[in-house]
Structure 1
């Protein structure tokens, strides 16, 4: 199994060569995008490269590896459009990002990244931090990486790294933890031995309600400045949620380590947006449908993988309606944050009861696999 990460390092001394290279790279992306768009349908990267390579090299004076990276990126972008069944449209690229291949057009150590620009290979100092030192210890392999112009006007090197880590089998696991994600509590965890932790979401919920009110006022105005502000608010809200999800996922994995957890159970939330929208009032649909449930789970998954903890996704059906004590299922068992079983009278926090059910389903999966001998066969065929 491979663990991949992106380490963001600030470039301390960007110069005109770097800026001009990024501009020409963007020009090359847009020229290539026009060629592909005029073709009327996606095409393979190699075929596209043959059509645009001479122009990229001779007219834009881009280096050889850049002239190979550009058609690969553009071809991939249009394939994604087709895969997502989006309207066929020409994609425009801004001069905010360019991709480099390790060794061919960049090398790096803890303090310096050497990048191929239009005026040759140049060294740039990077502001490194103690947390990043671990990624320069020789155990990680460097992959194609990017120089990115952030919204703060500074240039950063997004270093992509990869490391192979030993595979673990779920049948070797003995301790489990379920994680229920939501809005009132962003996450609630419960372990096999009934230890739990709550991650409150009240402050974030109030802040997002504030953004919601601002959006309503700006949308009613409809002016150009209002539209610009709407775009700004949207970006700020996404950055807020991403930061919150990073922090919570880090704390969840830390809690799992402290309790010697082998497997973290999560709900398979595929299609959660469509299901949720149909069940909540129109007034609350944006809050529910835009909540970054899946992002939080993804962060938990890769952080857990990095410390040797497995993750497993379970069917979310009835986890919020099932009594953990007697297994009685009823919609009436849950009333907002309260859970009270209509059959046996068991009472608990509703989200904690859900986390306990997720842990139980994860643990059941492990023992079913072991008893039926499916796991080894599945891994053999993988």
Structure 2
């Protein structure tokens, strides 16, 4: 299978070069907005050929994009709409009937959008060997609307991805914190770990009180507290509230900077957590995580807990774990989260009253086994991993089977 990663290289630019690149990024964003508006106005026909026929000459003549950049703008917007389409399908609209009390789920599609996707932030997509390439002296050649630039990248440990077994693809130019970055897509063919080759299983329960709790077949459990992370998130939230109350231009600029800073911090947290899990695992480990799709819609928490739930990037942590595990010779599966916190890992009894949410404990009324409720979930995930190794492609717990 092919494993993809993104190389995030900072590039050094002179003042004139930065100006040329920034102007190209602005015009590319304008072109993307044109394509997005056209899709919104014409029924979301996500077809490259149709959009090329309708918009290519406008992108070239009115916006001033070069030929390859015009094609890249169309592909980029189509990809964004397809991503939104997938997200909307996976998260249908749910409402409760006021008379019957029953919940109804309505599938959603792109017609639910009230306005087209917005492309306000300057950006630029560059095709490998057409718009960007490596030079023999180690510098990068980047295409702009005026001329090609030769810039110096900071590799910072990314040298391992510049070998022949890694295939480099499209690059994205972004500006963050006053610096310019080149995000390069890279892919490598890696050997997959068959379920018959797995040597160990690690169940990983993700949450708010504990960022994650891992448990392996040897009975070893690791807790990673989320207290410090929750405290810092709360600090960011208070700062945002203060700036929103001021509602001045400078406060809005500060809010924008703050948002980017918090997102980068959260990404770094996920990167370090996933790296630690993979580095401490034994060879050929199966990581088992819960499928948390729709958890935000299903939650009935209070306002503060709901905000904390929305601010934690469960999906990003899972994605980081997946690619790191694959490159290290491990594998990851996502299983149903149903009953993982209600089932006794010793006798198999399922009863939601056995879990004490307030004190974060679990006690089985049948066999008397008790432990931390998050640890219970991680232990049950190991059991689901064993079911997977036994041949079940969709392991899950059911009351009828377990009793």
Q: Same fold (TM over 0.5)?
A: yes
Aligned residues: 363
Whether 2:372 is the aligned partner of 1:349: answer yes
Look up the match of 1:165: 190
Whether 2:355 is the aligned partner of 1:334: answer yes
Q: 1:71 offset after TM fit, Å? A: 1.8
The aligned runs of 1:52-131 (5 Å cut-off) are 52-80=55-83, 84=88, 85=109, 86-94=112-120, 96-108=122-134, 111-129=138-156, 131=157
Cα separation, 1, equivalents of 2:39 and 2:355: 54
Maintained 8 Å contact 2:284/2:330: yes
**Paired residue for 1:323, among 323, 344, 347?**
344
Maintained 8 Å contact 2:284/2:329: no
Q: 1:36 offset after TM fit, Å? A: 4.1
Look up the match of 1:201: 226
Q: 1:56 offset after TM fit, Å? A: 3.2
Classify the secondary structure of the residue corresponding to 2:68: helix
Look up the match of 1:377: none
Look up the match of 1:294: 315
Give unmatched runs, 5+ long, in structure 2.
89-108, 394-403
Cα separation, 2, equivalents of 1:174 and 1:254: 15
Look up the match of 2:23: 20
Q: 1:41 offset after TM fit, Å? A: 3.9
Maintained 8 Å contact 1:112/1:125: yes
Cα separation, 1, equivalents of 2:247 and 2:276: 42
Maintained 8 Å contact 2:134/2:141: yes
Maintained 8 Å contact 1:177/1:261: no
Cα separation, 2, equivalents of 1:285 and 1:38: 35
Cα separation, 2, equivalents of 1:260 and 1:167: 13
The aligned runs of 1:253-332 (5 Å cut-off) are 253-256=278-281, 259-275=282-298, 277-278=299-300, 280-332=301-353
Q: 1:115 offset after TM fit, Å? A: 1.3
**Paired residue for 2:173, among 144, 147, 155?**
147
Whether 2:181 is the aligned partner of 1:156: answer yes
Residues 295, 92 of structure 1: alpha-carbon distance in 2 compared, 3 angstrom cutoff: closer
Give unmatched runs, 5+ long, in structure 1.
371-382
The CA deviation string for residues 317-370 of structure 1, in whole angstroms up to 9 with x for no partner, is 221122222222222322233222222222222222211110111112211349
Structure having the larger proportion of residues in helix: 1
Q: 1:126 offset after TM fit, Å? A: 0.7
The CA deviation string for residues 68-111 of structure 1, in whole angstroms up to 9 with x for no partner, is 11122233344555663342424442352100111122112693
Look up the match of 2:92: none
Maintained 8 Å contact 2:26/2:123: no
The CA deviation string for residues 280-310 of structure 1, in whole angstroms up to 9 with x for no partner, is 3344222234322222122111211111111
Residues 362, 40 of structure 1: alpha-carbon distance in 2 compared, 3 angstrom cutoff: closer
Maintained 8 Å contact 1:171/1:369: no
Cα separation, 2, equivalents of 1:207 and 1:153: 24
The CA deviation string for residues 257-293 of structure 1, in whole angstroms up to 9 with x for no partner, is xx33421111111221122x22x33442222343222
Residues 25, 180 of structure 1: alpha-carbon distance in 2 compared, 3 angstrom cutoff: same
Residues 366, 217 of structure 1: alpha-carbon distance in 2 compared, 3 angstrom cutoff: same
Classify the secondary structure of the residue corresponding to 2:383: helix
Maintained 8 Å contact 1:48/1:75: no
